[in-house]
A and B are shown apart, each in its own frame.
Chain A
Amino acid sequence: MADGCRRRIVLPREPHAELAAVPLVDLLGERLGFSRDTLAEIKLALVEACLNALEYGQGEVEVEVVAHADAPARLEITVTDHGAGFDVSIVPQPDLTAKLHASRKRGWGIELMRHLMDEVEVHSTPGLTRVRLVRKRKEA
């Protein structure tokens, strides 16, 4: 695969760092012919993955975006952090009614990623968490 189809960035530790990788999605997604609306959904999912990594990770948070032009054309995003890790199988599915009555209303990130992307994989062990997001381009 040509290097032009792969981009990496280490997120800066500064305000709005979760947005730092968004331009990579625009750059590579437009090359693959993704619609603007689909790219917007991918960017929302990316931001959620980056927020989690920045909040719970330690050290560098790295984002890699890969454009696969072979069928099915797809964007693959990997967000890697070095935090304590977590067990994704016990992350509760958020319920709006319950959230409205709860003091903590957060906890939507993984749920949103799962609905906005075609594939979401989380591999997490102490010291290394890797979230892989894939969205395929809809064929006309």
Chain B
Amino acid sequence: METFELKLAHRDGRLAVLEVAGYINNEAGEAIADTAATLLSEGHRVLILDLAGTRIINSIGISMLLEVLEKVIEVKGTLAFCCLSPSIAKTFQIMGLAQYAKIFPDRAQALAALSVES
């Protein structure tokens, strides 16, 4: 099993990028939610989750990501995902996540689009 790792890879003004690697289950989802809550409390309003290192996610992990999304929406911020594996991209598409979160093919495109917003 891929070991879960979470890293604050970039922060610039209101924008922050979290690199997520490994299996996103309940524990990993909680870790992401806790870190996201801290970033929001520090004033960041644009969060990018880079899932390049994640190949599998379960529905409990997904529910934790929805907790993050709810909190971001509450502060009128933006949640974005990038570097999704095809199966995770399909999962998000099934859920209709693009209604509320932005999805980019890679981090460079996410930063280019969202740095303006931040």
Contact = CB atoms under 8 A, between A and B. Distances in A.
A43 B62 CA distance: 15
B62 to A, nearest CB: 6
B99 to A, nearest CB: 6
A16 B57 CA distance: 12
A112 B59 contact: yes
B55 interface: yes
B11 interface: no
Contacts of A100: 66, 69-70, 73, 100
A49 B60 CA distance: 12
A19 B87 contact: no
B56 A51 contact: no
Interface in B33-86: 55-60, 62-64, 66-67, 69-70, 73, 85-86
B87 A96 contact: no
Nearest to A114: B94
A49 to B, nearest CB: 11
Interface string A33-57: 0000100110110011001000000
A115 interface: yes
Contacts of A104: 63
B118 interface: no
A29 to B, nearest CB: 13
B87 A108 contact: no
Interface string A16-34: 1011001000000000000
B45 to A, nearest CB: 18
Nearest to B85: A40
